[in-house]
Amino acid sequence: MGLLSKKDAKLITDPLADNNPITIQVLGICSALAITAELKASLVMGIAVLFVLGIGNVVISLMRNIIPSKIRIIVQLIVVASLVIIVDQVLKAFAYELSKTLSVFVGLIITNCIIMGRFEAFALGNGPWKAFLDGIGNALGYAVILLAVGFFRELLGSGTLFGIPVLGDPIEKTGLYSTGYENNGFMLMPPMALIIVGLIIWVQRSRNTTLIED
């Protein structure tokens, strides 16, 4: 690794698996449940959080020595809120339909525990380059889970991936549907997202038993 030292690389790879913000720290669950019925929404949400967390971490890290600790939460909120407004406006301008699907959840990135968590736990105590890598890593870890959940929910719930039918046409009864297969409506409801996240956590912990805490 020429570009990144081993320590820096760990900042990105750790949150992808063994320190994943969703499956290990169990943060940011609300949005993971709400918007993962479609892959497209999951992807956009992942990118939005990547943008906000990457830049936000750098900004907070640069300001870390001048923020009075008594009002640091307010400062952090202002930074996140400004970044989220940018994301929201961009989505409204260029992907209006999608922004309607995501509705309040773009705005709610402000309260996403992952973001505040990384600001508090990492950006306030580390330099901008490290903070940037940490932000990217955690946002990617979040996005990976979102995409995994979205993949199962969209495939089993609507029979499509990114809106493209992959199992045939449910009305014309082509492809898999000709055998009597039907879409699982439960997959489109938020409880199923919770169960899928739970199953991912189950698989992850049974593969790496050091993660099991009592």
Partner 1 sequence: MSLKNKLHIIKEKYKGTKMAPAFNALHTFLYLPNETTHNGTHIKAADDLKRTMNTVIMAMVPCLIFGMFNAGYQHHLALGTIESAQGFLGTSFWTWSNLVIGMWKVLPLVVVSYGVGLAIEFVFAIIKGHEVEEGYLVTGMLVPLIVPIDLPLWMLAVAVAFGVVIGKEVFGGTGMNILNPALTVRAFLFFAYPTWMSGDKVWVHGAVERDQAIAAGQNLDAISGETILGSYAQGQEVVYSVADMFFGIIPGSVGETSKLLIILGALFLIFTKIGSWRIIVSTLIGAVVMGLIFNGVVDAGWIGSSSKFFGLMSVPFWQHLIIGSILFGAVFMATDPVTAAQTNKGKWIYGFLIGFISIMIRVFNPAYPEGVFLAILLMNVFAPTIDHYVVQGNVKKRMKRLKVKTA
**Residues that bind partner 1 in the complex, under the rule CB under 8 A:** 180-182, 184-187, 189, 195, 198, 202
Give 127 or 185: the residue with its C-beta nearer to partner 1. Answer: 185
> Shortest Cβ distance from residue 209 to partner 1 (Å)?
14
Give 125 or 198: the residue with its C-beta nearer to partner 1. Answer: 198
Give 125 or 185: the residue with its C-beta nearer to partner 1. Answer: 185
> Shortest Cβ distance from residue 180 to partner 1 (Å)?
6
Residues 6+ apart with CB under 8 A from 118: 53, 57, 134, 135, 138
Give 5 or 178: the residue with its C-beta nearer to partner 1. Answer: 178
Residue type, 52: V
Give 163 or 185: the residue with its C-beta nearer to partner 1. Answer: 185
> Shortest Cβ distance from residue 192 to partner 1 (Å)?
8
Contact 23, 200 (CB under 8 A): yes
> Shortest Cβ distance from residue 77 to partner 1 (Å)?
36
> Shortest Cβ distance from residue 160 to partner 1 (Å)?
17
